[in-house]
Amino acid sequence: MCQDFYTTFVYIKNMAILKFAMNFKNLLKSNGYSHDRFAKIIGTNQQTVSRWASGENTPDLETIAKIAILLGEDLNTLCGFDAIEESTKEEIKSKINK
């Protein structure tokens, strides 16, 4: 049971990283930001923004919240949590409540 929960958690974490990277990259493009320009606005460097957009690295939660505000996106959507199937959410809840 614990292994199943861990596997589900790792899957959701990895999917969130990939969804964040994809959504972040698309939002930068649709808002007309280069990596360099966005980096200057958010207070980091171009390489860091490139790593976020590629999924190689992810920002901390405070930075993700700033990104969501700057790009006009909901946190759940930016991180891909809105795409998690209800059955997966229910499975996680049931395992937590055991």
Q: pLDDT digit of tens for each residue in the chain (98 aa)?
A: 566 777 877 877 888 888 899 999 999 999 999 999 999 999 999 999 999 999 999 999 999 999 999 999 998 889 887 766 666 667 666 766 66
70: which 2 tokens? 């700057």
Q: Which residues contact 23 (CB under 8 A, 6 or more apart)?
A: 73, 77, 78, 79, 80
**Is residue 19 helix, strand or coil?**
helix
**Domains of the chain, with CATH numbers?**
2-96 (1.10.260.40)
